Chains A and B, each alone.
Chain A
Amino acid sequence: MKLDVKMNTADENLIHLNEISKHYEMGSTLVRALDGISVKIQRGDWVSFIGSSGSGKSTFLNILGCLDRPTRGEYFLNGVYVEELGPNQLAEIRNREIGFIFQSFNLLPRATALGNVMQPLVYRRIGHRRRREMAREALDRVGLGDRMDHLPNQLSGGQRQRVAIARALVTEPSILLADEPTGNLDSRTSADIMQLFDQLHSEGQTLILVTHEEDVAGLGDRVIELLDGKIIRDRRAGEPLH
C-alpha cells in the first residue's frame, strides 16, 4: 500500500492504540463511550473484547475498523498513523486491511451470496471473472459453495453470517473484526461459526472479536474486559476470572 502518511516502521505491532477516547456530547452531558484506551495487538493474535452492554465495545471496534474516528488519541495500523488519512484513504484501508463482520450481517439485500462476496473486489481493479473465482473460493472456504446464487433473505441466519465472513475473507485482510458475530444466532449455529473462526485463526488470521459472552471470549488467546469505556482487565484466555 502506498500512502503518503506518517509511518512508524519500527512498530512491530499490527495494531497500536494510544490513549484512544471517543466522546459524544448529548446536550449538556458528555458521554465517554471510550475513555483513554491503550492496547497493542500482534499479528496472528485472537483477541476478544468483552463487556456489558454500553461498555463501548462497538465504538471501539468501529474505530479499529476505520469506520469511525476517535475524539482523541493515536491509532497506528500496520505502522500507519490512521488519524491523518482522508476518507478515500480510509476506504482503501477498509478494503485492503480490514474484514468487518457485523452482528446483523449487513449483507446487500439485492445481491446474491456470490454478489455480496464479490462486492469488496469491485472497489479494486479486478476483472469480473477473477472476482467470481475469488468469491467462489471464499464461499467454499466457509462451507457455502452450494448457496452462491441465493439472496440474503433466502438464507438462514448462520448462512448469512457465513456469507458475511466470506465477504470479509475474500480480500485477504490483515485483521478480521467481528462485532458480536453470533449475537443473532442460536447456540448450535454459534458453535459452528466459532469453529470457523478457530480454523481461520489456526491458519494465521488475526482476529478481533467483540462479545458479551464469556464462553465465546474464552475461545481466543487473550481477553480484554471493558467497562464504561475503560480497559479493566487484560488477561490470557483460560486464566481464571478472579
Chain B
Amino acid sequence: MFHVILESTRSALISILAHGLRSFLTTLGIVIGVASVVAVISLTQGMSAFIGESFSSLGSNSLTIQSYTPISEAMRGVRARLTPEDLELIERRAEGVASITPILYASRSSQVRHAAQTTFSQIMGTTYAYRDVAQAWVHSGRFIAESDNLTRRRVTVIGEKVRDDLGLPENPVNEYVELGGEWFKIIGLLEAKGDVMGFDQDDIVLVPYSTMRSLVGNQSQIDIQIQLSLSEQAAVDDVTRQLTALLRNAHNLEPDEDDDFRINTAEQLMETFDTIINMVTLVIGGIVSISLLVGGIGIMNIMLVSVTERTREIGICKAIGAKRHHILAQFLIEAMLLSLLGGLIGLALGYGLGTAISSSIDSFPPASIPLWAIALALGFSGFVGVLFGILPAAKAANLDPIDALRYE
C-alpha cells in the first residue's frame, strides 16, 4: 500500500507540475477559501489573546455591582438605584471582600478644562480603595487618600490621555483643572493602561467620592456603582450569591421579582467577548465552507477533464498491468495534492492577509494563528480533494482497458 502511495504521489506531482498554470487556477477556489478562514482565525485569535491580557489588567478577581432597570420597569418610570446605604450594608455584612469602593459618575457635563483647553472625559468619584480594586497605580504624585474623602478635598488624579488632551505638562501634579465649574488640584497621574475594546483606560478623571457627592445635586437620586476585589480564599460564586441575597433583601424584592442590579466579573465580560468572537468565527467559517465546496467542485471538474485527456494513458497503464487501485490511487492522490497545495498557498496568503490587516489598523492586536487552525485548514483542504477526487478517480479506474486504449 505504501508502495502504491509513493508511486502515485510521484506521478501525481509530475502531472500537477506539467500543468502548472491550470493546476494553480484549479486550486484557486481552495486557496481563497482557506486564505479567508485563516485570515479570520488569525485575527480573532489575536484579538481574544489580547482581550485576555486586557481584562487581567482590569483586576481579574474584582466584581462590579451596578443598578439595573428592566425595560418594563423603565416604561413605568421606575428606576433602580444602588445607594450609599447599599454600600454600607455590603461593607458591614459581606464576607470575602478585600477592598471595596463606590464609584459615582458625574451626572451632568463631564467637561474638563485647563486654561484654554477643554476636553470631555470620564469623571468618577471614588475612594483610595479604587487603587487596589481596579489596579490603578499612580505614575507620579499620589492617589486619592482617605483624608481627601473625609474633608471633601477638591483634588483629582488624572489619566495620561486627559493630560495630553489638556496640554498639561509631562508631570501635571499641582496644576489645576476645572470640573463642572469647580477648580480641582491635580495630585496624581495614573500609569498608562492602554485601551480595552475601544475604551481608553487612560481617559479618566478621579476625584474623591464625597467631593463628587457634594457636587451632585439631589442626594436622593444618587445611583452609585460598587467595585470590590475579593480576598484570596474567597470564591467568586460564593461572594456573588451572598451579595445577591444582601441586596435583594435590602431592596425588598419578592422572590418572583428579578434582581434590580447586576453583578459583573471581569471574567464574565471576557467570556461575553469570547462568545461574540466565536460566533463571528462560526458564521464566517460557514460562509467559507461554501467557498471550499465551490473549490472542491472546481477540482472535481478539472480532474474529470484530466481523466478524459489521459484516457489513452490510463489505457496504456492498464495494458502493462495497472490494477484498479493503482489508477484510483493516482487520481485520488493527485486531487488531494492539488487541493492540499491550494490549502498551503491559502494558509500563507491568509496569514499574510491577517498580519497586513492587523498591522494596518492602529491598536489592533497582532494576528496569531494557532496550530489547530493550520491542521484544520490543511486537513480540510486535503479532505475536500479526496471527496471531490473520488468520482473522477473511480471513473478512471473503471475504464475498460481496450476502450481506453482506442480512445482518440
Q: Which residues of A contact B (CB under 8 A)?
A: 62, 65, 67-68, 87-88, 91-92, 94-96, 100, 106-111, 119-120, 122-125, 167, 171
Contact = CB atoms under 8 A, between A and B. Distances in A.
A87 B324 contact: yes
B323 A88 contact: yes
Nearest to A96: B321
Given A122-B7, A123-B326, A125-B3, A65 B319 contact: yes
B366 to A, nearest CB: 45
Given A92-B323, A94-B320, A95-B320, 11 more contacts: A91-B323, A94-B318, A94-B319, A94-B321, A106-B315, A106-B405, A110-B15, A122-B326, A123-B321, A123-B322, A167-B320
Contacts of B15: 110
Given A109-B313, A122-B7, A123-B326, A100 B402 contact: no
Q: 4 closest pairs, A vs B, by CB?
A: A95-B321, A120-B320, A123-B321, A68-B402
A120 B322 CA distance: 8
A182 to B, nearest CB: 19
13 contacts: A62-B402, A67-B401, A67-B405, A68-B402, A87-B323, A91-B318, A94-B318, A94-B321, A95-B321, A106-B319, A106-B405, A108-B313, A125-B3
Contacts, number: 59
Nearest to A106: B316
B18 interface: yes
B14 interface: yes
B44 to A, nearest CB: 44
B248 to A, nearest CB: 78
A2 to B, nearest CB: 15
Given A62-B402, A122-B7, A108 B321 contact: no
A160 B313 CA distance: 16
B168 interface: no
Contacts of B14: 110-111
Which of B15, B18, B315, B319 counts the most chain A CB atoms within 10 A? B319
A96 B3 CA distance: 18
A87 B324 CA distance: 8
A117 to B, nearest CB: 10
